[in-house]
Amino acid sequence: VLCHVRFPLMKSSELVDSVQTLDIMVEDVLCRQYLLEAFNYQILPFRQHEMQSPRTAIRSDVLHSCVAVLDNFVYLVGGQQLQYRSGEGAVDASYRYDPHLNQWLRIQAMQESRIQFQLNVLRGMVYATGGRNRSGSLASVEK
């Protein structure tokens, strides 16, 4: 199929202005169906959880990140670039999402790159416990 395109990264205005008018979108029934699916996904953000499919999957090289919520902020910590079982590709990156501003902020990185670890909140702090990286298993905790 020539229109195997993953549209959800595009804004709905881009779908209308740039994609909808392409010849293949006009001529091919399957492409029109994909376009309609992408458009509906974009204009109905509060129903996106009902429309999940392989075409709406998050596209990122970072996998297996841990998530915690503290004081209405979402923390996304660590993870892995690419998928290696050995801990290769573990990252130390940390981000905080502010739902009031609808904005992600890169915050201080962890001291150790980690995958397959626990991220928990205790007494107003976020803790990363255990996990692995290219050095092997980690028996440490970061706050």
Q: Which two tokens mark 30?
A: 């399957």
Contacts of 32 (CB under 8 A, 6+ apart): 25, 26
Q: How big is the CA angle at 100 (ends 67 and 65), to the nearest 5 degrees?
A: 15
| pLDDT, mean of residues 3-19 | 63
Question: Rounded to a whole number, what is the distance in angstroms from the first to the last CA of the chain?
Answer: 49
List, for residues 72-125, the tens digit of each pLDDT value.
Answer: 999 999 988 766 556 678 899 999 999 988 899 999 999 999 998 999 999 999
Q: How many CA atoms, within 13 angstroms, populate the side-chain half-sphere of residue 114?
A: 25
Contacts of 93 (CB under 8 A, 6+ apart): 62, 77, 78, 79, 106, 109
Instruction: Provide the whole-model pTM.
Output: 0.58
In terms of Cβ atoms closer than 10 Å to its own Cβ (0-12, 13-18, 19+), residue 90 is: buried
**For residue 143, what pLDDT band results from cuts at 50, 70 and 90?**
very high
Q: What is the DSSP letter of 60?
A: -
